[in-house]
Structure formats: structure tokens, C-alpha cells
Amino acid sequence: MTAVSAPPARLRLTRAAWPVGLVLIVIAAAVLTGWQVSASMSDYYGAVAMSMSKSWSNLFFGAFDPAGTVSLDKIPGSFWIPALAVRLFGFSPAAVILPNAIAATAAAVVAAFTARRLVGTTGGLLAGAVVATTPILVAVARSNQPQAFFVLALALVAWAAVRAIQQRSLGWYLLAGALIGVAFQTYMLEAWAVWPALAAAYLCTRQRWWRRIWHTLLTGAVSLVVSLAWVAVVWLVPASDRPYVGGTNSNNPWEMVFGYNGLGRFSATADSDAYRSFTPAFSGDPGPLRLFNTELAGQIAWLLPATVAAIVVLFILRWRPATGVFLGGGSRPRWRCSPSSRGCTSSTHPRSRSPSPSSWRRPSPSRVHGACSGRSSCSSPSRRSRRFSSRRCTPNRARSSPGCRSRSPRSRFCFWFVNAGCWRCAG
């Protein structure tokens, strides 16, 4: 065998596509979210950031007024960084809004890295671009609303969860649970909506059943502790030493989180002594079809058909259960014809990439003819995996690349489609 001095042109292009595409995603997201940031600041949340910047006590409790007499009507996690920016640089629309724009840009980058582990460079760049250009995310990132940091926290949850599922790692699983707790600090109960998918996916991993259940219970406990840490601290602090909890009847942070921002969002209970309610008119009436009303259909309902179609595609492809349950993706079998043996081998390790330059070897003609002739096809070790392999290994393909990689046209189409559908909803 003779060593190849330079990598194939196609491989060089693939390697250059990732950093270049990532830079373009960052630029696009920064421009979209940072354009005219001073024109869409909410006076209410602007006043919250200014009041929180006045003292460390106001910062922690989320004081609405500079004197710290009443707090915000939600956990102030999404306003801690903007308040610190105001404390460092002074109050201005840019200091209040730019942290949200940075958070949205970071969410697009994290989504790109996460998708790259699942479906390669092209899928990663497509996922990052979809997140960066999602209209509703761009809209909230150009204002001082709390959703941008929530989306970033969910992107980090997906990043850690994919590693936990692929590697069956308790450490990454614990990190994913802790990040759900961080997301809870930014948008409260909506963060827990991720848990059913994460738990179901990890319970599908291939390891002992008791280990899966134990890991899930431990991660759930960690997530619960991190989620309720702020609520518990505020509850333990005497009422005379902290601001009055906004949005409550009894100055109780548990009521604020689970009543006013929980059950109170589903039904009108303004006359109830248990908790207050808040169902804003701008989002329509509560109900199972709320996402299809005139206020929300243009923001999210148009993504639901793509999600349903992506689920159908995943069922047809029959991905590995664990990763498919969580994010709608999985590690593709990577087929490579070995010049020294008949048939092909598969690799689904999350870090499996193209071989390094030191491992490129040009096979001799005799081995090419014997191992990758037109009569031998890339065969898989299992009947299920054969569906991903449809192309024959030819001498020309073996000479032009370090291995014959087989990828059916249906598989290539579905990977693109899944990124456009599932990853858009996940981002």
C-alpha cells in the first residue's frame, strides 16, 4: 500500500464546510437578532432590569421597584444577565436587549453542534440555520422578553441529552437534568415538558433495566432540586427581609410558580382564594386547539405538519429507539468496505468520523478487485440495518475514497427532512 499525500478534494470541502457554515450561522443570527434592538424594548421588563441592578438583594429576588418592595411575578432567571449588563454598562436598550440576542445566537450554535453528532455536518449546519432564522425566536430575541434564555437552556438540555443517550452516561444524564432545572429558572413549569421525552429516551437505551430506572430517578431528583432551589430559598427567607412576591395573594413563591404561573394559566380563577390567574387575551382562549387560533397559528401551528411528517419518516427508517424517541434522530450506520476483506463494517459510535489523513491508504488493484468488485455488495450484520445499504462497492469508488460508504437515496432525503422538521421544533 502507498500512502496518499493529500486528502480527497471532497473530504477537504466537507471539512471546510463546518467552520465556514458555523461562522455564517453566527453572523446571520447576530444580524437578525441585533438589528434595531433599541426599537422593541418592553418598558415593564426594562424597569425590572433597572431595579434588579440596584442591589444584590434586588438582583436575586427579582425586585420590580428600586426600593425592593415587590418582586416580579415570575422567577427572575431570565433577567439576571440583563440586570448585570445594566449594572456594568448603565441602563440603555442595548444593555437590556443584547444579552437576549446573544442567547439566541448561542442557541443556534448549540443546536448545530448537537445535530452534527446525530446526522453529520450537513444536518448540523441545517439545524443551526433553522434555529437562527425561526421568526418567533428572532422576534423575542430582539426584545427584552424572557424566552431567549429559555430557548438557550433547552438547546443545552438537548446537547447534554444526546450525549447521555448515545454514551449511556450517567454524568451527561445528570447534566441534562440539571440544565432542565436551569431552564426552570428562566420559564418555570414549561421546562419540565422536556422530561417525558428525555426519560422515555434514556429508558430505551441498551443497559440493565434497574440501571436505567435508577439513573432516571437520580437525574429527576437532581433536576427537581435545581428547579426548586430559588423557590425554596425565597420561601425560607422571612417575608420582612425580602420583597413581596408578585402575582400572589399570600406572598408565597410556591403560589406564584404553581398557581399564578401554573394552574392560573389554564382557567380563570380571579375570584379564588387559592391563587390568582392570568390568561392574556393576546394568546387566545385556553384549550387543546389553542395553537391553531388566529393569534398563535402564524407563530407555531405551521410547524406541526412538519413534525408529524418527520415522525412518520422516523418510523419508516426505524431509528435506534433511544435517540429517536428524544430528538427524532440517531447515529446512522456508517458503512465502509475494507480493501482487505469481503463485505463491509458498520460504525454507529457518535464520534465516528472520516478517517484521519494518516490512515488513508490506496489499496492495490488486486485487493480492490477482490474486496470491492462489482459482484460484492455492502452487507450489514443485521436484517434491520440492511435497509440503509443499497449501493454496490465498485473499484472506482474504492480507489477514490478510503472506503465505500453506502447511503440510500431514501435515507439521504429523510435525514434532510428530519432536520427541517424535528430540529426546528426542538430549537
Q: Around 316, how many Cα atoms within 13 Å sit in the side-chain half-sphere?
A: 13
5: cell is 499525500
Nearest by Cα to 183 from 218, 156, 161 = 156
- Coil, strand or helix at 81: helix
- The DSSP code for 64 is S
- pLDDT, position 320: 58
Nearest by Cα to 219 from 234, 203, 207, 206 = 203
Cα separation of 226 and 179, whole Å? 8
The answer for 408, left when phi > 0, alpha when psi is -120 to 50, beta otherwise, is beta
Interior CA angle at 342 toward 338 and 345, to 5°?
A: 50
Cα separation of 423 and 159, whole Å? 12
Task: Give yes or no for a contact between 7 and 359, defined as CB atoms under 8 angstroms apart.
Answer: no
Task: Give yes or no for a contact between 299 and 275, defined as CB atoms under 8 angstroms apart.
Answer: no
- pLDDT, position 161: 95
Cα separation of 138 and 130, whole Å? 11
What is the CB neighbour count within 10 angstroms for residue 268? Answer: 12
- The DSSP code for 70 is B
Report residue 143: phi and psi, to 5°.
-130, -175
- What does DSSP say about strands 2-3 and 344-347: parallel, antiparallel, or unpaired? unpaired
- Coil, strand or helix at 103: helix
- pLDDT, position 37: 77
Nearest by Cα to 302 from 214, 421, 394, 155 = 421
Task: Give yes or no for a contact between 385 and 367, defined as CB atoms under 8 angstroms apart.
Answer: no
Beta bridge partners of 334: 347
Cα separation of 103 and 112, whole Å? 14
Reported as type and span, the H/E element at residue 336 is strand 334-337
pLDDT tens for the chain, 427 residues long, are 455 555 677 666 667 889 999 999 999 999 999 887 777 788 888 899 999 999 999 999 999 999 989 999 899 999 999 999 999 999 988 899 999 999 999 999 999 999 999 888 888 999 999 999 988 899 899 988 889 999 999 999 999 999 999 999 999 999 999 999 999 999 999 999 999 999 999 998 989 999 999 999 999 999 999 999 999 999 999 999 999 998 888 899 998 998 888 877 766 544 456 666 665 666 667 677 777 887 777 777 777 887 788 778 777 766 555 555 554 444 444 434 444 444 444 444 444 443 333 333 444 444 444 444 443 344 444 444 444 343 444 444 444 444 444 444 444 444 444 444 444 444 4
- pLDDT, position 311: 77
Residues 6+ apart with CB under 8 A from 156: 110, 179, 182
Beta bridge partners of 346: 335
Residue with cell 439576571: 80
Which residue type, as a one-letter code, is found at position 32?
L
- pLDDT, position 185: 95
One DSSP character per residue, 10-70 reads HHHHHHHHHHHHHHHHHHHHHHHHHTTGGGS--HHHHHHHHHHTT-HHHHHHTBSSTT-SB
- Coil, strand or helix at 394: coil
Residues 6+ apart with CB under 8 A from 241: none
- The DSSP code for 338 is -
Using CA atoms, how far residue 401 sits from 40, 203, 239, in Å, is: 53, 38, 70
What is the CB neighbour count within 10 angstroms for residue 350? Answer: 16
Cα separation of 135 and 104, whole Å? 12
